[in-house]
Chains A and B, each alone.
Chain A
Amino acid sequence: MTSSALAPAAPVQSRLHLPLARIAPVTIIVIALMALWYVAAVLMNLNLVRQAFERDEIHYTTGQLIAGTLEAERPILPAPHQILATFADDVFDWPVTSPRSLVFHSWVTLSATFLGFVLGATFGIVLAVLIVHARTLQKSLLPWIICSQMVPILAIAPIVIVVLGSIGLRGLLPKALISAYLCFFPVTIGVVKGLNSPDPIQRDLMRTWSASPAQIFWKLRWPSAVPFLFTSLKVSITISLIGAIVAELPTGAQAGIGARLLAGSYYGQTIQIWAALFAASLLAVGLIGIVDVVEHWVARLMGGHK
C-alpha cells in the first residue's frame, strides 16, 4: 500500500510463452504444498476420528483411520478435495436464488464490492486531481489521507453501519461505503504520483506551446497517470472485496461471503468456511483479471506499447 508498491509493473514480455523454467518451480511447490496439506489434515484430524471410532466401539485399521481423517464431517482441517466438493455442491447444486447457494452470497458481496470500488476510485481520482492542482490542499490534506490509512479503518465499520442504519440507509450502501473508504487511498496516492510523473521538460514544452492548464491536464498529465491508475486499481479492487466481506461481519448480515464465514464459525461448519474462503479467493482473482483486461484494452486504445 505504500508508494513503491504502486509503481506500474514492468511490462510482461509475453503471456503465452511462459518458459518451463518459470512454470516448473511453481507447479512443484504447489504440489508439495498440497501434499503437506493432506499430511496436516491427517495429523490434525487424527484424534477426532480415533475418538469417534472408539465411541462407536468400531474396530479400525490404520488405513480406515487415515481414510476417516480425510472424510470427517466437521474436521479441524478439511482436506482440499472436501473443500472442492462442498464448493461445487454450494455452487452448482442449488438454484442461484437460494440462500444455500454460494453464487447468491458471492453476488451479494460482489455488488457491494463493485459499488464501493466505483465510489472509492472516483473519489480517489477527484481527490488526486484536486491535490495536484491546489498547493493548499496538497499540504493540508495529503498528510491526513496518509494518516487515515494507518488507522485500522475496519474498526469503524460497525459504526458506519449503525449510523447509516439509524438514518434509514441499509443493505448495500453502508457496505459499499466501507469498501470505498478502504480503496480510495491507493488510487489517490497512485494518481497523484502519476499526474506528477511527466518530466519538467515536457511541462515546459507544453508551456512553450502556450497550452492551457486544461490542455496540459488532458494531453500530458492524465495520459501519463493512466498506468499508475491501473496499478492502483488492482490493489484497491482486492481491498474493496476485503472491505465488503469484513463489513458483513459485525452487522450479522444475512447474506454475503462474510455472513457465510460468520455462520460457519457459529455452527462449527469448517468445510463451509473453507469453501467460502475459496470462493472469495476466486472472486479476488477474477476481479484483478477484469482490471487487467481493461488495462490492456485502454493501453491499446491509447496506442501504448503493452
Chain B
Amino acid sequence: MRFGWRRAAYLAVALGVLAGAAMPLSHAPAPGLFARPGVLAATLATAALYGAAAAVAGWLSVAATFAGVLLGCAATLVLLHDPTIAGTAASGFWLLVVANWGAAWLGVAGLAAIRTHERAISSAIDLAIPLLFGAFVFYLWEVAVRGFGVPTVLVPAPSLIAVRFFGSLWMLWQDFFQTFVLGVLIGYAIGCSAGFLVAVVAHRYTFLGRGLLPIGNFVSALPIVGIAPIMVMWFGFDWPSKAAVVVVITFFPMLVNTLAGLDAAGHIERDLMRSYGAGHRQTLQKLHLPAAMPFIFNALKINSTLAFIGAIVAEFFGTPTLGIGFRISIEAGRMALDMVWAEIALAAIVGMAFYGLVALAERATTFWHPSFRT
C-alpha cells in the first residue's frame, strides 16, 4: 500500500480532531469535551471516520469523509449553543473547525478526482461539488461569527438571517413585487423588445445599421445607471421610473447583440435563400432570426443582471416606502443588518432564478447551437 500525501493528509485531520478534543474549548471557564459525552462521542467518531477514509479509496473514502464532516460540523454547532463557548471559543474549538475544513477539502478533491463514464453520475458530481462547497462556506461563516462573537451590527450569522428571512416573508414578497415584478420585468420586456425591433428595422436598412452599431457599442460602455435620478424626476417615485431606467439600460445591449446576430448568417446561406427566391421577410424569418438567436439570448442574459441592478439603483433616488433597494438602504441606516442580508438573499435568489430561466429558455430554443452539443 502506497503511503501518499492523501493518506497523510487524512491522518493529519484525524489527529487534528483528536488534538482539538484534548485542548481547551473556551477562554472562559467552561466544561471540557470530556464532560459532554454526546459531543465527545461524535468527535471521536469523526476522527475514526477520517482515519477510515485514509485506509480506503474511491467512493468509500469520499463517503466516510463526508459522514465525518457532517458529524464534526454538527458537534461544533452544538458546542456553540453553550454560552460559555460562543464568543470566547479557544484553540481546541478552532482546531476542530479547521480539521473539518481540511477534511471537507479532501472530500471535495476526492469527489472531483472520481472519473466515471456514466453521464448521470458525472453531472451529479458536477452539481454536488459546488453545493457542498457552498454549504461549507455557510458553515464557516456561522461558526466564525458565533465563535468569535462578531456583533450582529457588523455581520449577522446565516442562521439569524434565515430566521429573519422566514419571519418577514410578507414584507419580502411586497418588496419583491414592487422591485422585480413592476420595475424589472416590465422594463425588461419593454427595453428588450424595443431593442430587438429597432435592430430588425436597422437590419432592413443597411445605412441605419451601420450608423447605429458603433453608437450602440459606444453607449453600452457608458455608465447609463446615472440616468436614474433623471428618470425619477420625470416619472415620479413609483415603479414607472424604475421601469424607465431598466428600459434604457436593457435597450442598447439588445440592439447591439441583435444587430450582430442578424449579420451572423453566412454568405452561402444567404445565397441559398436568394436562389430559392425568398423575399426579405422570408429570409428574415427562416434564416436571419434563427441565426441571431444565440446573440439575442446573450443579450437577454446580460440584461437580466443589468435590469436588476438598474432598478435597485433607481430606488436609491426615491421610492414609495417599498422595494428591495429602499429596504436595504433604510435598514442599513437603522443597523438592522439581519433584515438587510435577508433582502440580499432575496435579491440573490431572484437574480439567479431570473438568469436561470433565461438560460433554460435558451437551451430549449437554441439546442442546435454548437456550444450545447458537446
Residue ranges of A at the interface with B (Cβ–Cβ < 8 Å):
1-2, 4-5, 21-22, 25-26, 28-30, 33, 76, 135-136, 139-144, 147, 149-156, 158-159, 162-163, 166-167, 238, 241-242, 245-246, 249-250, 257, 261-262, 264-265, 268, 270, 273-274, 276-277, 280-281, 284-285, 288
**Closest A residue by C-beta to B210:** A25
If the complex has contacts A25-B210, A26-B210, A158-B328, are A281 and B223 also in contact, measured as CB distance less than 8 A? yes
Q: B337–A155 contact, CB under 8 A?
A: no
CA distance A245 to B316 in the complex (A): 13
- A242 CB, nearest partner CB in chain B, Å: 5
The answer to whether A150 and B352 have CB atoms under 8 Å apart is yes
* A245:B226 contact, CB within 8 angstroms: yes
B120-156 contacts to A (CB < 8 Å): 126, 129-130, 132-134, 153-155
Q: Which of B132, B207, B234, B332 has the most CB of A within 10 A?
A: B332
5 closest cross-chain pairs (CB), A and B = A25-B211, A265-B229, A29-B211, A140-B133, A143-B130
Q: Does B208 contact A (CB under 8 A)?
A: yes
Chain B residues, CB < 8 A from A277:
223, 226-227
Chain A CB within 8 A of B302 CB = yes
In the complex, what's the smallest C-beta–C-beta distance from B327 to chain A, in angstroms?
10
B217 to chain A, nearest CB (A): 10
Q: How far is the CA of A169 from the CA of B294 in the complex (A)?
A: 44
Once the chains bind, are B316 and A249 in contact (CB under 8 Å)? yes
A-B interface pairs (CB < 8 A), number: 162
Q: Is the CB of B352 within 8 A of A136?
A: no
Give the complex CA separation of A152 and B176 in angstroms: 13
How long is the Cα–Cα vector from A5 to B234 in the complex, in angstroms? 33
Q: Chain B CB within 10 Å — which of A139, A152, A154, A158 has the most?
A: A152
Measured CA separation A159–B370 after assembly (Å): 42
- Complex Cα spacing A28 to B313, Å: 34
**Is B272 an interface residue when CB atoms closer than 8 A count as contact?**
no
In contact, A152 and B226 (Cβ under 8 angstroms) = no
Q: State A151–B232 Cα separation when bound (angstroms).
A: 24
Question: Which partner residue on chain B sits nearest A32 by CB separation?
Answer: B211
Chain A positions within 8 Å of B153 at CB level? 166
Are B347's CB and A21's CB within 8 A?
no
Find chain A residues with CB under 8 A from B188 CB. Answer: none
B308 CB contact (under 8 Å) in A30, A147, A152, A281: A152
B344 touches A136 (CB 8 A): no
Of the listed residues A150, A262, A281, the one surrounded by the most CB atoms of chain B closer than 10 A to its CB is A150
Inter-chain CA distance A2–B300, complex, in Å, is: 11
A contacts with B: majority SS: helix
Decide if B15 is an interface residue (CB 8 Å cutoff). Answer: no
Q: Are A144 and B340 in contact (CB under 8 A)?
A: no
Is B329 part of the binding interface, using a Cβ–Cβ cutoff of 8 Å? yes
Please tell me if the beta carbons of B328 and A155 are within 8 angstroms of each other in the complex.
yes
Q: Which residues of A contact B351 (CB under 8 A)?
A: 150-152
Known: A29-B212, A135-B113. A140 touches B132 (CB 8 A): yes
Complex contact B226–A139 (CB within 8 A): no
Q: List 21 A-B contacts (CB under 8 A).
A: A25-B210, A25-B211, A26-B210, A29-B208, A29-B211, A30-B211, A139-B112, A140-B112, A141-B130, A142-B130, A143-B130, A144-B133, A144-B134, A150-B348, A156-B344, A158-B340, A238-B221, A250-B329, A261-B229, A270-B230, A285-B221
Q: Do B298 and A2 touch across chains, with their CB atoms under 8 A apart?
A: yes
Interface string of B195-231 (1 = CB under 8 A from A): 0000000000001101110110010011101111110
A102 to B318, CA, bound (A): 24
Which residue in A21, A76, A159, A241 is a CB contact (below 8 Å) of B340? A159
Is B49's CB within 8 Å of the partner chain A?
no
Q: Report whether A284 and B109 are in contact in the complex, using a CB–CB cutoff of 8 Å.
A: no
Who on chain B is nearest to A148 by CB?
B348
**CB-CB under 8 A for A241 and B302, given A30-B215, A155-B343:** no
Q: Give bound CA distance, A162 to B156, whole Å.
A: 13
User: Is there an interface contact between A261 and B226, defined as CB atoms closer than 8 Å?
Assistant: yes
Q: Are A265 and B232 in contact (CB under 8 A)?
A: yes
* In contact, A245 and B305 (Cβ under 8 angstroms): no
Collect the chain A residues with CB atoms within 8 Å of residue B227's CB.
277
Which residue of the partner chain A has the closest CB to B341?
A159
Q: A4-B294, A136-B105, A150-B304 are in contact. List 7 more A-B contacts (CB 8 A).
A: A30-B211, A142-B130, A154-B309, A250-B332, A265-B229, A273-B229, A273-B230
B218 partner residues in chain A, CB cutoff 8 A = 285
Minimum distance in angstroms from A168 CB to a CB of chain B? 12
Which of B234, B305, B316, B318 has the most A CB atoms < 10 Å from its CB?
Answer: B316
B324 touches A155 (CB 8 A): yes
Q: Are A241 and B223 in contact (CB under 8 A)?
A: yes
A151:B210 contact, CB within 8 angstroms: no
Considering the complex, give the chain B residue whose CB is closest to the CB of A142: B130
Is B177 an interface residue when CB atoms closer than 8 A count as contact? no
Chain A CB within 8 A of B312 CB: yes
Residues of B within 8 A of A166 (CB): 153-154
From known contacts A2-B302, A158-B328, A250-B329, infer whether A268 and B233 are also in contact, taking CB-CB under 8 Å: yes
Is A5 a contact of B305 with CB atoms below 8 Å? no
Most buried by B among A30, A155, A242, A273: A155
Task: Please give me the residue from chain A that is nearest to B126 by CB atom.
Answer: A139
For the complex, is B108 an interface residue (Cβ under 8 Å from A)? Answer: yes
Residues of chain B lying within 8 A (CB to CB) of residue A139: 108, 112, 126, 129-130
